Amino acid sequence: MADIVDKAARSRMMSGIRGKDTAPEMIVRRGLHARGFRFRLHDRKLPGRPDIVLPGRKAVIMVQGCFWHGHGCHLFRWPASRPDFWRAKISGNVERDRQNALGLRTAGWRLLTVWECALKGRERLPEDQVLAAIASWLVDGNDEMEIRGISHGAC
């Protein structure tokens, strides 16, 4: 299937997509800060440069975009144009996520993944509920957790 916008428009749209400081990431960061948690951002020394790092709690939080990380929710759909490219791209991201998570766990870090669908779209959860779940996870000391939208078993 051909793209529905011209090359210049697609280039402009794609250049607006960022890997850092995304809207879901900012919601989590502001909420954690308001609850008294202090953290580092995008630590280059750790596998995958986690979005939020809490060294004192030996915890990292990854805020994942559902499309870019191949989450099977209502926000993810395989693109119809250039299917081979997109399958390789997204599958590579998923594999890299798996390797980074393994590296973090091996190094003794606790890992929380917050999926975009938990904070955006028709199946989103209330922000307070997501932030309370994150705060609870940080305090309780559980090893690993995912927070997703409603239809995927929230928290």
pLDDT per residue rounded down to tens, the chain (155 residues): 566 767 677 667 666 566 677 999 999 999 999 999 999 999 999 999 999 999 999 999 999 999 999 999 999 999 888 899 999 999 999 999 999 999 999 999 999 999 999 999 999 999 999 999 999 999 998 899 999 998 765 55
Q: Would residue 44 count as lying in a domain? A: yes
pLDDT at 10: 60
Q: Would residue 14 count as lying in a domain? A: no
Q: Would residue 1 count as lying in a domain? A: no
List the CATH number of the domain containing 102: 3.40.960.10
Three-class SS of the chain:
CCCCCCHHHHHHHHHCCCCCCCHHHHHHHHHHHHCCCCCEECCCCCCCCCCEEEHHHCEEEEEECCCCCCCCCCCCCCCCCCHHHHHHHHHHHHHHHHHHHHHHHHCCCEEEEEEHHHCCCCCCCCHHHHHHHHHHHHHHCCCEEEECCHHHCCC
For 109, the domain range is: 21-152
Q: Would residue 145 count as lying in a domain? A: yes
